[in-house]
């Protein structure tokens, strides 16, 4: 039996261009958008349904006064460190979050698994309540780490793209010798790739070129942290004489994360790598770690790649995409002293993210998964809505949300 729902009289930011339609109807069949168009247009029954069958009649919701936007996509998180919120504000980035010797790894190793699961589930709930319908988590801890996250996800209705990794890293000597992945590392890699959705590598400075090349042969979504800090950029040059970003491209990644200290040469190298779909930036986390602001304008101009947004470590930052969009928009304009279209920022959190991940998310359009957020246009911080893109990017918040829908089901709030 097909499950059909019709949302009438809504305003919507539709399709890949986020085109504003003031009065629209949205039809959902099972977990997919079937129709998005002007109000009063009757959507046809989905293929395989009999128009005379009572089951073909959709449940109807009057969405007058609501603005429907695509579900927000948080393209970079580490929810495993949710238990360590603001545990250490001083010290370098490596002292806080280095995957081998940072405070984060110590906290994770000393926290009971059940406690980690509880706090990861809390962060997932927080994301849903603030409009995130999909998040991409770079999961530490090998297969065991992936299983802990799956336990958390069993409690919260949210989509997650799990980017796993092995527990094998190269030290400086291994990088200089270009040591390959060990036999035990090969065994663990196979287990990890069978348990998750992709490979999320910590960075070039923790992996030899031979290891990166080996990882590049994994037939899955691949991503890597690159040029996040001035220290990591300098360390790569000192160890190998090669840019950290250029070495990271040895993974043949589908996307790179951060690029806060990427040079023009780095961005040109990214532009010359046809397999790279985009760059994910995490401006608030970079600011919290005193590492500056990614040069979004240069990334768009020099790398010619899509940009998406992530919130990074819960240890240093809240996983709230409304706050991420607001900060990114204003900081980018402050740095460049030029106006930035807020629609571009919203695309980073929706359309671009779906395209980088290669998934049918991030758009309210026929054939896409029915993930969206219903915002109350009469919410105290939004009304009156003169520019819907600006309203979403720098005025909307969790308090503006009437409901969140994932896969055609309302998982937070209510439309009744």
For residue range 99-111, list pLDDT tens digits in order: 655 565 667 678 8
For residue range 145-193, list pLDDT tens digits in order: 999 999 999 999 999 999 999 999 999 999 999 999 999 999 999 999 9
Contact 230, 253 (CB under 8 A): no
Find residue 159's DSSP bridge partners.
134
Q: Quick one: which of 121, 105, 95 has its CA closest to 165?
A: 105
- pLDDT at residue 298 tops 60: yes
**CA end-to-end span of the chain:** 23
* pLDDT at residue number 55: 54
> How many CB atoms within 10 Å of residue 91?
11
344 is written with which tokens?
A: 């571009």
* pLDDT at residue number 95: 56
- pLDDT at residue 274 tops 70: yes
* b (16+ CB within 10 A) / e for 56-84: bebeebebebbbbbbbbbbbbbbbbbbbb
CA 266 to CA 279: how far, in whole Å? 12
Number of H helices and number of E strands within the chain? 16, 17
CA 115 to CA 117: how far, in whole Å? 5
List C-alpha distances in Å: 108 to 100, 101, 123, 139, 196: 11, 11, 16, 12, 20
Contacts of 76 (CB under 8 A, 6+ apart): 136, 138, 257, 280, 282, 310, 311, 312
Max CA separation in the chain (angstroms): 72
- pLDDT at residue 91 tops 90: no
Q: Quick one: which of 220, 197, 222 has its CA closest to 212?
A: 222
Contact 323, 284 (CB under 8 A): yes
For residue range 357-397, list pLDDT tens digits in order: 999 999 999 999 999 999 999 999 999 999 999 999 999 99
The side-by-side arrangement of strands in the sheet containing 159-164 is 306-309, 278-281, 255-258, 221-226, 198-201, 159-164, 132-138, 72-78, 312-313
Find residue 24's DSSP bridge partners.
10, 38
390 is written with which tokens?
A: 């600006």
CA 90 to CA 81: how far, in whole Å? 17
Calculate mean pLDDT across residues 286-302.
93
Percent of the chain exceeding pLDDT 90 equals 86
- pLDDT at residue 200 tops 90: yes
For residue range 319-369, list pLDDT tens digits in order: 999 999 999 999 999 999 999 999 999 999 999 999 999 999 999 999 999
Contacts of 109 (CB under 8 A, 6+ apart): none
Find residue 374's DSSP bridge partners.
68, 403
């Amino acid at each position: 039996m097909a499950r059909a729902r019709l949302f009438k009289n809504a305003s919507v930011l539709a399709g890949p261009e986020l085109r504003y339609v003031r009065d629209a109807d949205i039809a959902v069949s099972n977990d997919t958008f079937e129709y998005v168009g002007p109000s009063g247009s009757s959507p046809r029954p989905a293929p395989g349904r009999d128009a005379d069958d009572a089951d073909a009649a959709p449940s109807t919701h009057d969405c007058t006064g609501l603005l429907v936007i695509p579900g927000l996509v948080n393209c970079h998180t580490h929810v495993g460190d949710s238990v360590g919120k603001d545990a250490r504000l001083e010290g370098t980035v490596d002292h806080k979050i280095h995957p081998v010797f940072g405070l984060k790894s110590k906290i994770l190793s000393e926290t009971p698994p059940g406690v980690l699961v509880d706090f990861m589930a809390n962060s997932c709930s927080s994301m849903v309540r603030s409009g995130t319908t999909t998040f991409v988590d770079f999961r530490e801890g090998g297969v065991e780490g992936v299983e802990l996250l799956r336990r958390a996800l069993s409690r919260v209705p949210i989509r997650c793209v799990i980017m796993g990794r092995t527990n094998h890293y190269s030290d400086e000597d291994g990088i200089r010798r270009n040591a390959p992945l060990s036999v035990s590392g090969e065994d663990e890699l196979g287990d990890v790739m069978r348990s998750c959705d992709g490979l999320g590598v910590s960075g070039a400075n923790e992996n030899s070129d031979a290891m990166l090349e080996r990882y590049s042969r994994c037939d899955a979504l691949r991503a890597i942290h690159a040029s996040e800090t001035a220290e990591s950029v300098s360390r790569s040059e000192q160890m190998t004489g090669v840019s950290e970003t250029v070495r990271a491209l040895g993974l043949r990644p589908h996307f790179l994360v951060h690029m806060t200290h990427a040079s023009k040469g780095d961005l040109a190298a990214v532009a010359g790598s046809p397999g790279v779909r985009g760059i994910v930036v995490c401006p608030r986390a970079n600011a919290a770690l005193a590492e500056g602001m990614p040069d979004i304008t240069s990334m768009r101009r020099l790398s010619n790649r899509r940009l998406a947004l992530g919130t990074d470590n819960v240890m240093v930052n809240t996983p709230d995409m409304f706050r991420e969009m607001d900060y990114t928009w204003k900081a980018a304009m402050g740095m460049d002293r030029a106006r930035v279209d807020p629609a571009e920022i919203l695309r980073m959190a929706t359309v671009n993210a779906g395209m980088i991940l290669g998934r049918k998310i991030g758009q309210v359009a026929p054939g896409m998964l029915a993930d969206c957020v219903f915002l109350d246009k009469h919410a105290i911080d939004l009304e009156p809505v003169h520019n819907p893109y600006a309203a979403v990017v720098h005025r909307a918040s969790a308090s503006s949300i009437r409901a969140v829908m994932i896969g055609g089901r309302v998982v937070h709030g209510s439309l009744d």
